[in-house]
Amino acid sequence: MSDLLDNAWFALTDVLNPHGPAVNAVKSYSPADFSVHFFLQLAVIILACRVVGWLGQKLFRQPQVVGEMIAGVVLGPSLLGLFFPELQNAIFPKETRNVLYVGAQLGVGLYMFMVGLTLRLDHFQSKAKSAAAVSAAGIAAPFALAALITPFLLTVPGLFAPGISQGNATLFMGACIALTAFPMLARIINERGLANSSLGTLTLTAGAFDDAASWCVLALVLATFGAGPGVAVIAIGGAVLYTGFMILFGRKLLAPLGRAVEARGEMSSQMLAITMLLFCLSAFLMDAIGIHAIFGGFLIGVCMPRGLFVEELKRKVEPLAVVLLLPMFFTYSGLNTRLDMVNSVSLLLIALGVLAVSVLAKFGACWAAARLSGEDNRTALGIGALMNSRGLMELIIINIGLQKGIIGPTLFSMLVLMAIVTTVMATPLFEAVYGKKARETGELDQVDGRLASA
């Protein structure tokens, strides 16, 4: 126990120390060089996201966020780097990606902060049973199926790192399958006018719990790969303590912010500065303990005052976060994605098998859990369709697995393919099983009307 506590204390105090370069630098860049590249990268990212997003909406009826995810992959080595490698390297040299990473984390953290502001706690309380059941099923089924397929995957050379134990491989695969694309899920729900609906709140809540559980499992796996058990202790213990504190005391402590905005009739610059300070501290805390900054942003957003405070904050912050900052998150992950690694029939069949298992584990299990919790079949199918989306949260966790030597490039590419397919299929599947009927009955129109009036 003493060694465990010592290891945990070392992990906590080591947060602000350097941990090596994010990329293998081969050139020396001055601050001015970083600045020149950064603004060019932003311009290219915004243009690509707008164009691909518009094409996705017009041609395939996909939400803007799916187009942005695909635009990130387009700008990476899978397309632009494949056909125009010199151009891609000139715009996105490896040495500048550290700066892009920070912008990406700010963008996705701010967006999840905005999502937390729209979470309807009254809907969550009324749907607590369903949310807990869906979340539990969305975790248990992926890990059970991962336990079935991992022994076979371990026999295929190059998928996992040599010498990895079956237990660690199973935990990692389970975490990958259990992930829900929390930021993308939130964006789809917002764009479909479901942010204030019970279905949207239930799905967001279950997705948040599933992602948090997956990150905790990843921390356990990383602890056996040289990071030490202190990483897992800090990650899980810190997340439980901070979440419990915010749920019990957060809304009361932050309530004066809302009263100040109501009394003034608007949000002053000073109040905005205080709010952003709290957001940054919350994101830092969750990032420092080894979970992810987005959960800190989302959690403090949930606890912020409602009413005029939310209206003013969204008016001042949301456009910049969505249009300028969030696309950096998709592009950074796309720069690390290679889709040309699955280059044989046998590997393609394995990739399709992983995809099928992932859909069964997430869509099927969440649908069944929602039905058993009393939801009607149409709502349960809608929940399953949304929970099955994995997006770039999947790319984040498998990038970590690749960097830490848990998986090889081939399995990485298979999981990238799974992430893209399950994300692209989320919107048409949701429309087929829920959205179309909801529009015919006027259900979604009523939700959209409430959002417009808000």
What tens digit of pLDDT does each residue of 133-142 get?
A: 898 999 999 9
Q: Left, alpha or beta for 93 (phi > 0: left; psi -120 to 50: alpha)?
A: beta
pLDDT of residue 446 exceeding 60: no
What value does the mean pLDDT take over residues 376-390? 90
In the block, which residue shows the tokens 């403090």?
300
Q: What is the pTM of this model?
A: 0.77
Q: What is the pLDDT of residue 224?
A: 63
Confidence bin at 220 (pLDDT 50/70/90)? confident
Distance, in Å, from the CA atom of 412 to the CA atom of 354, rounded to the nearest integer, reads 12
Higher pLDDT, 31 or 220: 31
pLDDT of residue 401 exceeding 60: yes
Confidence bin at 450 (pLDDT 50/70/90)? very low
pLDDT of residue 257 exceeding 90: yes
Q: Please tell me the least confidently modeled range out of 167-171, 260-264, 335-339, 424-428.
A: 335-339
Q: What is the pLDDT of residue 131?
A: 80
pLDDT of residue 4 exceeding 70: no
Q: What is the pLDDT of residue 454?
A: 34
pLDDT by residue (tens digit) across 43-52? 999 999 999 9
Question: Phi, psi at residue 68, to the nearest 5°?
Answer: -65, -40
Q: What is the mean pLDDT of the chain?
A: 84
Q: What is the pLDDT of residue 373?
A: 84
Distance, in Å, from the CA atom of 74 to the CA atom of 69, rounded to the nearest integer, reads 9
Radius of gyration of the chain (CA): 21
Determine the CATH number of domain 109-453.
Answer: 1.20.1530.20
pLDDT by residue (tens digit) across 199-214? 887 888 888 778 778 8
Q: What is the pLDDT of residue 231?
A: 74
Confidence bin at 453 (pLDDT 50/70/90)? very low
Beta-carbon contacts of 52 under 8 Å, excluding residues fewer than 6 positions away, are 67, 68, 70, 71, 74
What is the share, in percent, of the chain residues with pLDDT greater than 90? Answer: 36
Q: What is the pLDDT of residue 289?
A: 83
Confidence bin at 84 (pLDDT 50/70/90)? very high
Q: What is the pLDDT of residue 308?
A: 94
Higher pLDDT, 52 or 196: 52
What value does the mean pLDDT take over residues 345-365? 93
Task: Return the sign of the alpha-carbon dihedral for residues 397, 295, 114, 434.
Answer: positive
What value does the mean pLDDT take over residues 438-451? 56
Distance, in Å, from the CA atom of 386 to the CA atom of 63, rounded to the nearest integer, reads 13
Confidence bin at 235 (pLDDT 50/70/90)? confident
Higher pLDDT, 443 or 284: 284
Q: What is the pLDDT of residue 452?
A: 34
Where is mean pLDDT largest: 71-80, 230-239, 270-279?
270-279
Q: What is the pLDDT of residue 395?
A: 74
